[in-house]
Every structure is written in C-alpha cells, then in structure tokens.
Copies of this chain bind each other. A is one copy, B any other.
Amino acid sequence: MDERKRQVLNAIIKDYIATAEPVGSRAVAKKYALGVSPATIRNEMSDLEELGYLEQPHTSAGRIPSDRGYRYFVDHLMEREVLTDEEINLIHLNLSRRLNEVDTFMRQCCQFISQLTNYTVMMIMPQVGKGKLEKITFIPLNDNQVLLTILTTSGLVSSRLLQLPVSVDAKSLKILEDLLQQKLGGKEMKELNVTLLREVSNLMSRQKQLVEQVLELMDQALSPQEDERVFTGGALNMLSQPEFRDIDKLKNIFGLLEEDDKIKQLLMQKTRQRGTSVAIGQELPGGKMKDCSIVVSSYQVLGGMTATIGVLGPTRMLYPKTIPLMEFITSELTDLFGRK
C-alpha cells in the first residue's frame, strides 16, 4: 500500500461520497491532479480492487469503495474537518438552553443533531438504573394517586405516577418514605429489585398490605424497560439519500428505527469503546443495514454513567465532518452533565 495507492483510494472515496456515482479513472486523473495518466490510475484501481478496498458494480463502470475501503479511509486517510465558529456557536446555543427534564432535553437534542448532520439520530438516555439512589420522595396527590420521584447521584430525576388500589393517609406515606430513604439511600439503583424491597417491607409490619403494594408498583415503575428510553430524530433525512431510493431498503431501516430494542442493541455494542467510534456496513449486526454506517459517541454523566448517541447514514457518509462534530457535541454534553 504505497503512497500513490492511498492517494487514489482517498480521491475515489472523496469523490464517491460527494457524488454517489461510481468513479472512473479519468475523473480521478482530472479532478485530483496526481500527475499521472488515467491508465496508471486504472492499474492502481485494479490493485486496490484486488486488495478489497474497491468494488465494481459491473465490468464497465467506475469503482465504488467497499466497506473495507471506508474503514481504511476512516482509520488512515481522511482529514478531519474543523468545526466552523458558526457551528460551534450553534451547538453551544442549542445545548446550553434551559436544562429541562431529561426527556424533553433528549428529544430536542435528537432533532438538533439531525438537523446539524443531515442524518438520522438515535439516542439512549442515561440509565437511571445505574446511579445510586440519592433521594426518594412520595407526593400524595389525592387518595389514590401518589407521585414517586427519585433522584440519583447522576443528577437525574425520574418521576413515576403510582395508582394505589387503596387509599393512604399522608402520615403513613411519610413514614414509608423516611424508611425507604434510610434503607435504600446510597444503594445502587440496579440493586433495587423485589428482594431488597421485600426486605424493607418486613420492617413495616403494621401496614403490610399497603407497603407490599407500593413496593411492587415501585419495582415495576423502575424496571429497566421503562428506564432506558430510546429517542430518534430526522428519519426524514434518509429519504434524501440516493442509495435509499429503493423502498425495500427504506423498509429495513425504518423498521429498525421503530424497534427500540434493536436500536439499543446497535448502540450498546459500540458503547464500550470510549469516545467516538464508527461501524461501517457489514460491521453492523443483523445484515439488514449493509448500506448504512453509524457514528456512535458516548458522553459521561455524573456518577460514571454513559449515555449514547448514534448517527445513522449511508456508508457513503461524510465521516470527516460527522465524526469531529459528534466528538465535540459529546464533549459538550459531558461538560454539561458533568458539572453540578
């Protein structure tokens, strides 16, 4: 893999990313003045194909990058674009705006990033289940309804509405609250399973039935299923990509976007790596997304938890732009959620 091969590969990938059309030897020689003739380029292209970096849709067409080609491009060739001041300002403006409840914030964030990148965005929420419980509160709303709010060390608030089958007076509730606070405060959220809760319930022998019911509701409300919400935005952007003119491909992708579990799987797989990573084409699980890539980036929240953002686009993605963008955004988010 000598220097000229790299130049040729770089040129082809850049051109293909820009045009979505197979790139011919003549075009490379012309646009990216490498000082050699098309014939020479052809030889190099032939070599690159043999090495697995390029593909040919049919014998008399130009070349397109293979997944492996993109991988090499991302790892070794591309020159990262530097964010413009304008973009930086825009990001600051949009991310610093009133720190809402997590839910709203995530939704806005998705929309904003999808506008910025022109790709589809998927996010998973910082998992409440992973911090330590800091404060637990019951608010009696009326005889049957109680609002349960939980604050974790990560600074996240999660609130759930509990429908009680029997009425409870405020005093009993207060006692229960104090007890739970005392027993559960400082514990890891994920330890709050039925077993532990039941232990507590044994202590409250007086109103055993009530306690049991409250605890069961709590357990249910805090289940991971409820916990790890998935957000998406900018699915529309997929429709503008020429590679997804085909309805069947679109069906695959939109099908995935409506299944939260699949998205989680997709994002979690890459989350272990710190910072920003890329999965290209076949590197994605399932095989249904062979023409897609995702840029996955995590940000830290207080308490050592991570939240994850994924940008989904065609393999022919603007990596040199998208990757720095996501790195910057997640570092901003880490800042935002990292300081109290």
Contacts and interface: CB of A to CB of B under 8 A. Distances in A.
Nearest to A217: B98
Nearest to A151: B141
Contacts of A100: 160-161, 221, 226
Contact of A139 (B101, B139, B220, B258): B139
Given A145-B157, A157-B147, A220-B98, A258 B239 contact: no
Contacts of A103: 103
Interface stretch (A8-16, A62-70, A248-256, A315-323): A248-256
Nearest to A139: B137
A155 B141 CA distance: 9
Contacts of A157: 141, 145, 147, 161
Interface string A198-235: 00000000000000000000001100001000000111
Nearest to A107: B229
Contact of A149 (B104, B147, B226, B255): B147
Interface SS of chain A: helix, strand, loop or mixed? mixed
Task: Give the most central of A104, A155, A159: most B CB within 10 Å.
Answer: A159
A241 to B, nearest CB: 10
Interface in A125-152: 134-135, 137, 139, 141-142, 144-145, 147, 149, 151
Q: How many copies are assembled?
A: 2
Contacts of A166: none
B151 A142 contact: yes
A82 interface: no
Given A149-B139, A151-B141, A234 B251 contact: no
Interface string A97-134: 01111011000000100000000000000000000001
Interface centre among A135, A160, A236 (most CB of B within 10 A): A236
Contacts of A135: 141-142
Contacts of A240: 251
A163 interface: yes
A93 interface: no
Interface string A14-52: 000000000000000000000000000000000000000
A1 B154 CA distance: 70
A171 interface: no
Given A104-B226, A139-B137, A226-B104, A236 B220 contact: no
Nearest to A137: B139
B235 A254 contact: yes
B144 A340 contact: yes
In this complex, which of A226, A233, A254 has the most chain B Cβ atoms within 10 angstroms of its Cβ?
Answer: A254
Given A98-B220, A139-B139, A239-B250, 17 more contacts: A101-B160, A134-B142, A135-B142, A137-B139, A139-B149, A142-B151, A145-B151, A147-B157, A149-B149, A234-B258, A235-B254, A236-B251, A236-B254, A236-B255, A239-B247, A239-B254, A240-B251
6 contacts: A98-B163, A101-B160, A111-B258, A139-B149, A159-B159, A240-B251
